[in-house]
Amino acid sequence: MNKKEFWIETYGCQMNDAESEALKITLKARGWREALTPDSADAVILNTCSVRQTAENRLWGRLGFYKHAKKEREFKLTVIGCMAERLKDKMFSRVPEIDLIAGSFQKTRIADYLEKTFSADPEIKLIGQEEYEFFTRHSNNDFKAFVPIMHGCNNFCTYCIVPYVRGREISRSFKDIYNEIDSLDSGNVKEITLLGQNVNSYTIQAGSRNMDFPALLESVAKRVTNIEWIRFLTSHPKDLSDRVIGIIKDNPVLCNHIHLPVQHGSNKILKLMKRNYTRESYLKLAERIRKNLDNVSLTTDILIGFPGETEEDVKYTMDLIKEAEYEDAFTYYYNPREGTKAYEWGDPVPQDTKIERLNRIIELQRSVTRKKRLNKIGRTMKVLAEKRSKKNKLELLGRTEFDDMVVFPGSADSIGKFINVRIEDISGDTLRGKEL
Ligand code: SF4
């Protein structure tokens, strides 16, 4: 076939971002070009997310849009990712114009099948579930890169669809991880993030050697020479060990930022969610992290409106936010996901109650975030400049190792470089400063 133009839309988590980037690299290596707009693409690929109903609703909207567009012009439509895994039959029946569906597994072979959709006899419209294979490269030598180290999850938190759509945990061979990191390290990459649904469960047996997550983290920290920041996402609080905290402390290349999703502050709700920790054990862990790591930034996820949640449970969560003093939190309200354990318990907390509780949580976290950021005024911070500000073309946006967003005057030449910025002010949640 003549190589053509592709367009990829990505929804959901960083793992999807990483896999979409990897697919772009694969397609470009086979002679494809990235289209500037979807209207000129010969192949449109939607990489989907199933974690929340809102993400799925958006995707149905996009499928409606492309179904209509297919009446106007010729192009191939491919759907991949978690929602494709979960709802493939429904997708084919509602949008028969879809040319190819591949779920969460055989993404490395999508390019083969995508090219076949252009032949007179495409053979296959659905790539089945086989063992997950990791792409070999997930970044095109940008200054920031994701490096997946594992896939799937064995935890089965009662609200979460991930183990059903991404399957059981599979750890990537550490040799493949090293290969990818070595090639990023010899390029322009300044920051990498080791990715997995629960990175702390990473484990690989190679001969007599067992590599667990702390061992991997330490070896990666010692291995890199040009990469200056290493992060990891996501950590389950029941699995983040003191060994990991010690390794972060001893290796300055590991960022002093830990995302530690608590989900709720009430022991009753944590038990119903099957999170396998208590608010007390979580807070002790947070305290150990703060005690050992200088100026560490702790961020979290909070899920409000779970079945059985009362006002008292919300109060526990608000108290926990005050005690943990998160630098930031990603907050959301509960949506039942069909197929999960909690789906059987219905959705008893009324929608307006969920929204009202969520708003209180957001407001509280904002005040905690603001207080913590105000304390940074006057400090000089190392910032990785990421892009131009949309509001003011003369300003740049960047992030600190603690994941604070910083705005400062600067030119496009600085993008992708580390800049020392003196923090002078805060607007909203964003730090503002000047280059030193
Ligand atoms: S740890 Fe729980 S919330 Fe996270 S992906 Fe696994 S099942 Fe979902």
Q: Give percent above pLDDT 90 in the chain.
A: 83
**pLDDT at res. 119:** 78
| 162 close to ligand 1 (CB < 6 Angstrom) | yes
β 395-400/380-388 pair status: antiparallel
What is the average pLDDT score of the chain?
A: 93
Query: pLDDT tens-digit profile of 153-178?
Result: 999 999 999 999 999 999 999 999 99
The yes-or-no verdict on residue 70 having pLDDT over 90 is yes
Residue 80: C-alpha distances to residues 104, 164, 184, 285 (Å): 7, 15, 26, 37
Contact 206, 178 (CB under 8 A): no
**pLDDT at res. 172:** 95
The yes-or-no verdict on residue 250 having pLDDT over 70 is yes
| 157 close to ligand 1 (CB < 6 Angstrom) | yes
Most ligand 1 atoms within 8 A of CB, residue of 49, 51, 150, 153 to mutate: 153
The yes-or-no verdict on residue 112 having pLDDT over 90 is no
Query: Residue 17 carries which side chain, given as an amino acid letter?
Result: D
Domains and their CATH numbers in the chain: 5-127 (3.40.50.12160), 144-374 (3.80.30.20), 380-435 (2.40.50.140)
Single out the residue of 275, 249, 274 nearest to residue 261, CA to CA. 275
Ligand 1 atom nearest the C-alpha of 153 is 6
The yes-or-no verdict on residue 141 having pLDDT over 90 is no
Which of the four pLDDT bands, split at 50, 70 and 90, describes residue 3?
A: low
Instruction: Report, as an integer, the average pLDDT of 84-89.
Output: 89
Query: pLDDT tens-digit profile of 387-401?
Result: 999 999 999 999 999
The yes-or-no verdict on residue 102 having pLDDT over 90 is no
**pLDDT at res. 127:** 64
Instruction: Give the distance (Å) from ligand 1 centre to CA of residue 296.
Output: 24
**pLDDT at res. 185:** 96
Q: Give percent above pLDDT 70 in the chain.
A: 97
Residue 222: C-alpha distances to residues 137, 246, 271, 405 (Å): 21, 14, 38, 27
Give the C-alpha separation, 30 to 402, whole Å. 38
The yes-or-no verdict on residue 36 having pLDDT over 70 is yes
Instruction: Give the distance (Å) from ligand 1 centre to CA of residue 233.
Output: 12
The yes-or-no verdict on residue 123 having pLDDT over 60 is no
pTM of the model as a whole:
0.92
Which of the four pLDDT bands, split at 50, 70 and 90, describes residue 204?
A: very high
Query: pLDDT tens-digit profile of 260-269?
Result: 999 999 999 9
**pLDDT at res. 1:** 58
| 276 close to ligand 1 (CB < 6 Angstrom) | no
Most ligand 1 atoms within 8 A of CB, residue of 52, 169, 198, 260 to mutate: 198
Most ligand 1 atoms within 8 A of CB, residue of 104, 155, 168 to mutate: 155
Instruction: Report, as an integer, the average pLDDT of 189-210.
Output: 92
| 22 close to ligand 1 (CB < 6 Angstrom) | no
Instruction: Report, as an integer, the average pLDDT of 226-237.
Output: 97
Instruction: Give the distance (Å) from ligand 1 centre to CA of residue 54.
Output: 18
